[in-house]
Amino acid sequence: MKRTLALLAAVLLAAVLLLTTGAQVQAQASPEAGKPYVADEATKIDVMGEWAHPDDDTSIIGPCGVWHQRYGTKCGIIMVTRGEGGGNSAGNELGPDLGLRRENEDRVAHYRSGTVDIFNLDRVDFFYNQSAPLTQYFWDEQETLRRVTRVIRTTQPEIYIGFTPTLQAGHGNHQQAGRLIWEGVLAAADPTKFPEQLKGPGALSTWQVKKVFSGGSTAGTGGTTTAANCTTGFVPTGLDPVAGVWTGYDSPYKWPAGNLQGQPAGTPKSWQQVADEGRAAYPTQSRVMYKGVSAPACPRFGMTQSFVPFQPNSSPAAGQDDAILFGATKQDPGGLPKGTLEYLTFSRFLNVAGDPFQATLHLKGSLPKGQAALTVPAGWTVSAPQQTGKINGSKDLTFTITPSSIAAVNQNFKISALFTSDQGKTGYTDNVVRIVPPVEGRFQRWGNWQEYDQWLANTAPQATRLGRSAAIQSMAVGSTIALPVVVHNWSSQPRSGTVGLTLPANFTADATSKPYPVIQPGAETTVTFQLTNTDTVLPATQNVQIPVVTDSSSETLTLSLVPKTAIPQAASTPVVDGVATPGEYEGETLDIGRVWQGACSDAKDCGAGSTANVTWSDDALYFFVHVRDEYQSYAVTPQECVGHWQADSVEILLDPRGTASQVLKDTANTFKLGIFPFTNDPGNANGPCWERDADNHQGYSSGLLSIGNAPGVQVATTAKWVGSNETTTPHAYDGGGYDVEVKIPLSALPAAVDPARLGLNITPYDNDDTSAAGTTTLRHIDMSTRTGWSALGSVQSDPYRWGRATLTGYTPPADRPTTPAPPNVSNPNLDGALSPQTIAQSARTGVPISGRVPTKDLKLLYAELGRNSVDVYTYAKSPGTARLLLWTGLIGAIPVYTTSCSPAADPAPDYGLTPCAVTDGGYPPWSPDMSGHVVKQSSQQLQAGVKHVSIPLTKAQRTRLAADGRLLVSFETAQNQVQAFDVRLSRR
């Protein structure tokens, strides 16, 4: 009883001390009533990057290191996902466990550059795709934007860097991450967006990001990579202003004694060396330890939007290595006060030669009297300069611009503005408009291309400077399709004329020229052609170009020709035994040996001669696949029977309705089966395994790890594992390849098959000797050559470019749904409240976990390291879940590679990224305790009031915590509000 009373008294005393001395890390203080929120030193970010996955963001490692060291710049990263849906070449972690590992990899990559704040948004990483709409579906578009906006408003970044929002970003997750830059900048400055963030306890303020670098071109001539101020003399070939930074400066990090590169011990590494080592710090993603010596570089960034004055590339100041900071974190050399806003907007972006439009120069700040003038391209006219008078607040000046009557069409043009004060201080800004034909004919967009153009028009018109969508379509060889052309009148006069097609060889149309009727200004009409391909076999080049000419304007349609086949009904049901007996497969033999990705040393290495036959029987498809392959790859274990691209495999791809791309679901509406022909699985006689990837229900599909997502699938193969992953064992396949026979019940597909338009592809993956230099052990790593029936780049993610198949005589059961089931990605994303690194960062910065709504409902009254336990007393104002993690050692970054360099010569924070032997670059143990840093953890359901939590410890655990132990706590209320603590343990 005495002990209990004494402890309770200590708890009460500790509560008073903690709450009055601030020993407990608290969330950031709210602004004073009536005053705007201002981020404090712990929270403020100068340059924010935003990307979709860990390892997307490596372009800023070197630049941020230089900016941080030389100019005191603080970089941060918004990471939308932790990459849980990607492969894992370094271990068996998937889902949340992989998210923990990949988050740490990202922190290791950036830690030395000073970028220690990585704000993970906890969105699901579901699979490779090329669809922003599909990404929106999985990410909960508005909730993700809400979290981005909160992080921006909380950290108040001046500069924003990341992906382009265009389809050129490729991966749909990348496209959406790029869009979130444009949308987040707009939302953070808009008081009508997420207004709940701007009121009540902990209220934030709107925030205007000053410069945006998202999709800008960095092409140009001049400049250097061998000296400081490396963009001096650089002339962009495009219209985007370009800022660069030299990465040849010495970093604080030294070459350790005995380094493999032979560099003098104790001499500094360049920032480019640090960047390249960081870029390689992602072993789960098939990256390997960097063992080279880096030459200095000049990373450059193309600016796509600025709200502050800056230096044009014609100015010598624009070549400085801190030019990107001008007008944002540093005063612009023109001399206007730091914090001045200056930018141009237009009454419309798309304009016609000879037709006037308005440009508005926006000025905001405290500015003396002056004059504003616009500069326009040669042959254009603009209204006279305007006197501004003294400005205290904001002022908008509108000018009328008339493009030259002979201005080139389908081209951007730069408009610049210069404010000059009476004291001679200047502020420069520019923006671009595009000249389009008076009448423009564009192939009618569909799918992702239509949706992107709608996003430009409705959400981020400024991003139109990056270009509208391309004209893309596909058709089966030897077929006929409709080719609609939308004709729009951009001019101020009624128009009529013709639309014509320029047809390549082996194409015909119902007409090569058709008239369009009179179109009023701003109106449009559609002209449709019937296009026929006359090829009898798939040509060597599947992509063809078809110019579409409307009066004096044109665009080019890229048309992908894809193979087609008729799948017959089998005379008798095939036996799945790995052998094609006579009569089982009487349909067409498909050529699946065409290369679509990867390199090869000869025709055999590329799979020339690989074939497939397909038939159907009893509501199932049967495949007999012969793969020509000269080298047997790494043999996967059952736990590695996912990520088929990391070993020899065959993927079968089926779009049951043939419309997955058209309805914006891409492969989420499909069935994709990845088959490993052999395994390192003695319990299954080292036989095949299979999995579903990047489809309607991905995940393990065979053996003890099956999740039941491919019921009824059967696989047989002739491949026999050679019995070793050592290259000292001969790895040739018997017979120069292998055969795979597969049954796929059509009931396993996400919807009933449309027998007239089944999407089909068959793509072998060929991995050869993947051992690291100087070693003899094959690695589980992506180094594959990829072939297929329809062999177009990234075809695995584009159902519209798969082959077309008909099922002769097949009718699906009447009760089978024709609408695909909602997609299931199987592996969930990690909740940041379960990440020790995220919790520690949130406690330090005050930025809530995942950008969610913060709370202060939990107080830690006392945390003590006892003889046999850790005892914690909490006070909760409302119910919630507390996760308590006992941690030891450095939390900012955990080594991802092993090295033989002496730790004394290569201390933290170099983190073992330097090799001292050719065999260095292995993986330290990771699971289940994050390389031993998680000593113990506990999850507690808290009710309102005081609670005592006791976490039992072994003697060894207590010893570890006694050295440098800390308690990390996350708290989630029933309303999904979050809180984070990082406290040192007191000792009894």
What's the 3-state SS for 181-235?
Answer: HHHHHHHHCCCCCCHHHHCCCCCCCCCCCCEEEECECCCEECCCCCCCCCCCCCE
pLDDT digits (tens, 9 = 90+) for 453-470: 999 999 999 999 999 999
Mean pLDDT confidence for 928-941: 96
Lowest mean pLDDT, pick from 107-111, 315-319, 803-807, 909-913: 909-913
Distances (CA, A) of 868 to 489, 860, 956: 80, 20, 10
Distance of CA 684 to the CA centre of its chain: 37
pLDDT for 604 beyond 90: no
pLDDT digits (tens, 9 = 90+) for 409-428: 999 999 999 999 999 999 99
d(CA 213, CA 573): 59
DSSP, collapsed to helix, strand or coil, labels residue 132 as helix
Assigned token pair, 141: 């578009």
d(CA 771, CA 33): 63
pLDDT of residue 3: 45
pLDDT of residue 29: 45
Distance of CA 67 to the CA centre of its chain: 24
Rounded to the nearest 5°, which phi and psi values hold at 482? -80, 140
pLDDT digits (tens, 9 = 90+) for 476-489: 999 999 999 999 99
pLDDT digits (tens, 9 = 90+) for 678-737: 999 999 999 999 999 999 999 999 999 999 999 999 999 999 999 999 999 999 999 999
DSSP letter at 774 equals T
Mean pLDDT confidence for 202-217: 97
Half-sphere exposure of 541 (CA within 13 A, CB side): 8
pLDDT of residue 694: 94
pLDDT of residue 17: 42
Assigned token pair, 773: 């230099």
pLDDT of residue 911: 79
Mean pLDDT confidence for 553-582: 96
Q: What is the dihedral of CA 454, 460, 465, 469, to 10 degrees?
A: -20
Q: Judging by beta carbons within 10 Å of its beta carbon (0-12, 13-18, 19+), is residue 942 exposed, middle or buried?
A: buried
pLDDT of residue 905: 87
pLDDT of residue 35: 86
pLDDT of residue 175: 97
Assigned token pair, 609: 């001669």
54 close to 102: Cβ distance less than 8 angstroms? yes
pLDDT of residue 28: 43
Rounded to the nearest 5°, which phi and psi values hold at 566? -105, 125
Question: Model confidence at 988, in pLDDT bands (50, 70, 90)?
Answer: low
pLDDT for 222 beyond 60: yes
Placement of tokens 């800004």 in the chain: 429
Spell out the residues 6+ positions from residue 650 whose beta carbon is closer than 8 angstroms to its own: 625, 627, 674, 675, 677, 740, 762, 763, 764, 765
229 close to 246: Cβ distance less than 8 angstroms? yes
d(CA 51, CA 388): 40
pLDDT for 969 beyond 50: yes
* % of the chain exceeding 90 in pLDDT: 91
pLDDT of residue 11: 52
pLDDT of residue 30: 52
pLDDT of residue 9: 46
pLDDT of residue 24: 37
The DSSP secondary structure of 904-930, one letter per residue, reads TTS-TTSTT-S-SSTT-------TTTT
This prediction's pTM = 0.93
156 close to 208: Cβ distance less than 8 angstroms? no
pLDDT of residue 906: 85
List own/partner pairs for 35-43 with CB under 8 A and 24 or more apart: 36/205, 37/153, 37/203, 37/204, 37/205, 38/156, 38/205, 39/154, 39/155, 39/156, 40/846, 42/844, 42/845, 42/846, 43/154, 43/155, 43/156, 43/845, 43/846, 43/847
pLDDT of residue 23: 34
pLDDT of residue 860: 96
Q: Judging by beta carbons within 10 Å of its beta carbon (0-12, 13-18, 19+), is residue 520 exposed, middle or buried?
A: exposed
- Average pLDDT taken over every residue of the chain: 94
d(CA 786, CA 747): 28
565 close to 760: Cβ distance less than 8 angstroms? yes
Spell out the residues 6+ positions from residue 201 whose beta carbon is closer than 8 angstroms to its own: 30, 856
Question: Model confidence at 12, in pLDDT bands (50, 70, 90)?
Answer: low
Mean pLDDT confidence for 198-204: 94
704 close to 612: Cβ distance less than 8 angstroms? no
Mind spelling out the 3-state secondary structure of 93-110? Answer: CCHHHHHHHHHHHHHHHH
Planar angle of CA 9, 11, 17, nearest 5 degrees: 105
Q: What is the dihedral of CA 234, 235, 239, 245, to 10 degrees?
A: 0
**Is the N-terminal amide bond of 582 cis, ω within 30° of 0?**
no
d(CA 102, CA 274): 19
- Which helix (H) or strand (E) segment holds residue 728: the answer is none
pLDDT of residue 32: 60
Choose among 320, 227, 251, 247: nearest CA to 69: 251
Question: Model confidence at 13, in pLDDT bands (50, 70, 90)?
Answer: very low
Give the chain's radius of gyration (CA, Å). 31
Question: Model confidence at 775, in pLDDT bands (50, 70, 90)?
Answer: confident
d(CA 311, CA 429): 8
CB atoms within 10 A of CB 128: 20
| β-pair type (986-987, 858-865) | parallel
pLDDT for 987 beyond 90: no
Assigned token pair, 887: 């941690």
pLDDT digits (tens, 9 = 90+) for 139-162: 999 999 999 999 999 999 999 999
Which spans in 661-782 are helix H?
Answer: none
Question: Model confidence at 986, in pLDDT bands (50, 70, 90)?
Answer: confident
pLDDT of residue 555: 96
Mean pLDDT confidence for 342-353: 97
